[in-house]
Amino acid sequence: MVKLAPFIAMAFTLMALPAQAQDKVTFGTNWLAQGEHGGFYQALADGTYARYGLDVTIRQGGPQSPNRALLTAGQIDFYMGGPSTAIDAVKEGVPTLTLAAIFQKDPQVMLAHPEAGFETLGDLARASQIFMGRDGFLTYFEWMKANFEGFSDEQFRPYTFNPAPFLADPQSAQQGFLTSEPFAIAQQAGFEPTVFLLDDYGYKAYSTTIVAMRPYVEANRDLVQRFIDASIIGWYNYLYADNSGANALIKADNPEMTDAQLAYSRDKMVEYGIVDSGDALTQGIGCMTDANWADFYQRMVSVKRFEPGIDIAQAYDASYVCKGVGLDPASR
């Protein structure tokens, strides 16, 4: 009994110590909660963020979301961005940094009616009208015009995230995400649309990036590394393990999301290597390279989306990724 006393005293001392405080982090997404955000919700649901000493709040985006403005104002810590906005920020003198590219492939697709007879992306030059957002009109549609004959600005119609105009015109085309709109159209209209993944035709771009303000990164390098590493592990677990906890959180934030849509999104991300392909296969999810950034920039210069001479090295910092985090299943 005497021999156990010191251990009992130590146990009471440890119980009396306060729990180590976790760093509070807010991450803003670019749209309503969905499967395309799954890895971040997974890291929250399965405790990965907590194990990395982080108390993370995910602030979902939406049609009128101010999340990007909140990032620049210092009201949130990380934001889900893309390469075009990152280069725009350099032009505008806004000190954002892209730190990881979760999607190695942009899941952007064009959709058509199967009876229209469009067999390749270039065939959409015959479409009566093409529904797309303004960002698409300024980026990949310019690329489509430069690489395929027959596309014209007169085909452009604003896409309002309502497929009704597309469904009403069998000769039209519509933008979408590989992981979302094809499923929604099949559910609503009862047919499988013809899908053209722009990546398959040479439109290479990172997507679903992790962005922060440069001063924040410089002041919190350890925290930034922990957030990126934990998010990467979250993505491996969302794609390849039990993701039910993450899906429950997604549906809590976005009650209109369904289990069927979530399953479809994950299946398409895995099938097409949206997250886990290219450099990510050998260097880990989130990997970015100078070569891929330069290639994207030069393609956008060629279609006059950007002017030559922008120092795109100011747009990103790849030192936090390509370290093989999560490649070993035992490390997750």
What's the confidence (pLDDT) of residue 63?
85
Contact in structure between 142 and 155 (CB atoms under 8 Å): no
The distance of Cα 152 from the centroid of its chain, to the nearest Å, equals 29
d(CA 245, CA 248): 5
Low-confidence ranges of the chain (pLDDT < 70): 1-20
Residue 19 burial (CB count, 10 A): 5
C-alpha distance across the termini of the chain, in Å = 41
Which helix (H) or strand (E) segment is 51 a member of? helix 48-51
pTM for the full model?
Answer: 0.91
pLDDT tens, 92-124? 999 999 999 999 999 999 999 999 999 999 999
What's the confidence (pLDDT) of residue 65?
87
Identify the bridge partners of residue 177 per DSSP, sorted by sequence position: 108
Extended strands (E) in the chain: 23-28, 54-59, 78-81, 96-103, 108-112, 130-132, 156-158, 173-177, 194-197, 207-213
What's the confidence (pLDDT) of residue 290?
98
SS3 197: strand
CA angle 35, 41, 44 (to 5 degrees): 165
Antiparallel, parallel or unpaired: β 108-112 and 130-132 = unpaired
What's the confidence (pLDDT) of residue 7?
35
- For 131, phi then psi, to 5°, come to -90, 120
Helix, strand, coil share of the chain (percent; to 5)? 50, 15, 35
What's the confidence (pLDDT) of residue 20?
65
d(CA 160, CA 290): 34
What's the confidence (pLDDT) of residue 101?
98
Contact in structure between 266 and 238 (CB atoms under 8 Å): yes
Q: Which of 127, 108, 261 is nearest to 196 (CA)?
A: 108
Identify the bridge partners of residue 197 per DSSP, sorted by sequence position: 109
Which helix (H) or strand (E) segment is 87 a member of? helix 83-92
Q: Show the domains of the chain with their CATH numbers.
A: 22-104+205-331 (3.40.190.10), 108-201 (3.40.190)
Q: Which of 100, 97, 77 is nearest to 87 (CA)?
A: 97
